[in-house]
Structures are given as C-alpha cells and as structure tokens.
Amino acid sequence: MDISIIIFLIISFGSLVFAFILEGGHVSALLVGTAAIIVFGGTIGAVGVSFPIKSLKRASGALKIAFTDQSKDKGELIKYFVQVSQKTRQNGLLSLEGDLGRNDMDPFIKKGLQGVVDGLEPSLIRNMLSLEVEMVNERHREAIAIFDAAGGYGPTMGIIGTVMGLVHVLGNLSDPDSLGPKIAVAFIATLYGVGSANLLWLPIASKLKALNRQELLEKELIIEAIISIQEGINPGTLGEKLGGFLDKGELLKYQSGRGET
C-alpha cells in the first residue's frame, strides 16, 4: 500500500471538512444519502454505459495499482543488467539459460533474455518487446480514460442532483421556514459531484498516468539493456548508457552505490 496517497486523500478531504467546521458548520450537514446516491450511482452508471464490461473489470485492477507502490528502482535494474553483461562476456550468452528458470524473474525481462538465448535477431527481440509495451500502454490508457470520464460525469451528476432538489423545494413552498435548509441540502449534491471529481476521480487518473509513464520508461530501459547485452557491449559502457534513463537524483544514488563520485 502506498501510504502517501492515503495521507494526501485525508489532507484534501479533511481540509474541506475542517474549514466547514471552522465556519460554524456541522459535519452531519454534509452527510446526505440521497445526494450520494444520485452522484455516485449516476456517475457509476454513466461510466458503465460508456465502456465495455471488460474494460470496467480492468479498471478495478488499475485502482489497486493507484493505491500501491509497484515501481522498480531503475538504479538496481541497471546494476542487474551490468552483472548479466559481465556474466555473458565471461561465459557466453547461453550462460543465461540457467537464470531463466527462476520464478521471481520479471516476465518481461525473462521474455527478452529468452530471445537472446534462443539466438533471435536483435531487431526481432526489440519489435517483440516493443509490441508488448504498446499493448500494456493501451490497456493503461483505457483504464485512465475510465477515471477521466468519472471525473467529467461527477460534477454533471451533482448539478442534476441539485436541480432535482430545487424542483422538490419549489414544489413545496407552503412552509417558508424550511426553504433554507432544503435548498442547502439540494446543493450538497453539487458539492459531492465537484468534490468527488477533483479530489478522487481525476487525481486517480493523474496518478495512473504518472505510473504509466514510469513503467514505460522502465520497460524501455530493459529493452535497451537486453539488446546491448546481446550485442556484447562492455559492462562499463552499458552502465553509462543506461544511466541516461535516470534523473539527477537517481543517477547520484546509482553512482554512489558503485563507489563513484
């Protein structure tokens, strides 16, 4: 579980509630079941109509990814491939065959190294792995689109809920003293719609976009490493080449781990 996303969700929702309380409001005034049904039920329904059921099932997995930290340390990846390069230069490419039986090996890395052991052309290995990356990217974009759509439908459902509430209020004007509270309750739907879009759905979509970019970069690093190993590049040169995938902080950490300055 990525604790940071939980913390920031608490900060965002908590700030709104805390400010409301400071203004003299009561938390119970923000809890309106009918508004929640209209906004969240309507949003889920609209999203369900917009996407195939298969895509919606994948979205649940994407939601889990958004709340977990599954990123790899790119510096450690580079160190791993430098060690693989050293091994193949000493013992040949076929020496990798024993490592391919490990259950803990990343399937993407395993697929690439298997192609090296099988003697496939570098261009074929690159195309094979690049195709898999493109398919992963497409699945991720599909899941991201679902949360983006929810972020668009949420505020609209909030407005619909508010209009429905106002229709109910205007249809019962016999008790003027109750108009204020009833109108306030009607506007809670707008609050739910705008709040859920900007504090939940759209941030989740943005988080998934960032994670997708990060994963694509990691996979590109892996592809370059595997092709370079097959071409017999010097381990030191390989480390320098792959270092281009690191930002300044990651590069300093990687170099300090190798005893460089």
249 & 139 share domain: yes
For residue 73, what are its two tokens? 């340390």
102 & 16 share domain: no
- Specify the number of domains making up the chain: 2
pLDDT value at position 101? 79
Task: Give the integer Cα–Cα distance in Å for 225 and 238.
Answer: 7
Choose among 101, 67, 96: nearest CA to 204. 67
Check residue 244 and report its DSSP letter: G
Which structural domain range is residue 23 located in?
Answer: 1-31
Sign of the CA dihedral running 156, 157, 160, 161: negative
16 & 57 share domain: no
Residues in the chain: 261
pLDDT value at position 199? 94
User: Can you point out the beta strands (E) in the chain?
Assistant: none
24 & 103 share domain: no
pLDDT value at position 259? 54
236 & 216 share domain: yes
For residue 66, what are its two tokens? 């958004």
7 & 125 share domain: no
101 & 2 share domain: no
24 & 42 share domain: no
Confidence check: pLDDT of 198 > 70:
yes
Task: Give the integer Cα–Cα distance in Å for 93 and 116.
Answer: 7
109 & 121 share domain: yes
Confidence check: pLDDT of 84 > 70:
yes
22 & 135 share domain: no
Task: Give the integer Cα–Cα distance in Å for 50 and 55.
Answer: 10
17 & 75 share domain: no
Q: Express each pLDDT in 10-29 by its tens digit.
A: 999 999 999 999 989 889 88
Q: Express each pLDDT in 96-155 by its tens digit.
A: 888 887 878 899 999 999 999 999 999 999 999 999 999 999 999 999 999 999 999 999
Alpha-carbon Rg for the chain, nearest whole angstrom, is: 26
- Res. 1 pLDDT band, cuts 50 70 90: low
pLDDT value at position 44? 95
Which residues have C-beta within 8 Å of that of residue 92, sequence separation ≥ 6?
none
259 & 135 share domain: yes
112 CB neighbour count, 10 Å cutoff: 25
